[in-house]
Amino acid sequence: MSEAKAPVGQIRTEVRGHVLKIIIDNPAKKNSFSPQMMFQMSDALTLLDNTDEYWVGVVCAEGGDFTAGLDMPKFFGPKAENWDLRDGTIDVFALANRCRKPIVTAVQGIVYTIGIEMMLAGDIVIAADDCRFCQMESKRGIAPFGGAHFRFLTRAGWGDAMYHLFLCDEFTSERAYKIGLVQEVVPAGQHIERAMQVAETIAKNAPIGIQVTKEAALKFIESGEGAAVDYIPKIKDRFFNSEDFKEGIQSFVERRAGGRRLYSENQRSRLQQRRFQRGNSVICRAASSRVPRPIGLSAQNAGVVQPLRIKDQTWVA
Distance CA 251, CA 264 (A): 18
CA separation, residue 242 to residues 79, 143, 248, 262, 263 (Å): 19, 12, 10, 9, 8
Closest to 163 measured CA to CA, from 177, 153, 174: 153
- Ranking 6-10, 115-119, 174-178, 184-188 by mean pLDDT, the lowest is 6-10
pLDDT digits (tens, 9 = 90+) for 110-161: 999 999 999 999 999 999 999 999 999 888 777 888 999 899 999 999 999 9
Find the length of the chain. Answer: 317
pLDDT digits (tens, 9 = 90+) for 249-283: 666 566 666 555 544 445 555 545 554 444 444 34
* Mean residue pLDDT across the chain: 81
Top pLDDT among 158 and 230 is at 158
Closest to 111 measured CA to CA, from 46, 65, 163, 168: 65
- pLDDT reading at 209 higher than 50: yes
- pLDDT reading at 285 higher than 50: no
Reported as a pLDDT band with limits 50, 70 and 90, residue 14 is very high
- pLDDT reading at 291 higher than 50: no
pLDDT at 245: 63
- pLDDT reading at 87 higher than 80: yes
Reported as a pLDDT band with limits 50, 70 and 90, residue 80 is confident
Mean pLDDT of 180-202: 98
- pLDDT reading at 49 higher than 90: yes
Q: What's CA 214's distance to the chain center, in Å?
A: 24
pLDDT at 239: 59
CA separation, residue 183 to residues 42, 94, 295 (Å): 24, 20, 54
Confirm if 67 and 107 have CB atoms less than 8 A apart. no
- Indicate the residue type of 68: A
- pLDDT reading at 295 higher than 50: no
Share of the chain above pLDDT 70, in %: 70
- pLDDT reading at 37 higher than 70: yes
310-316 long-range Cβ contacts below 8 angstroms, 24+ apart:
310/276, 310/281, 310/283, 313/278, 313/279, 314/275, 315/275, 315/276, 316/271, 316/274, 316/275
Distance CA 148, CA 135 (A): 8
Other beta carbons within 10 Å of 211: 15
Residues 6+ apart with CB under 8 A from 261: 141, 242, 243, 244, 247
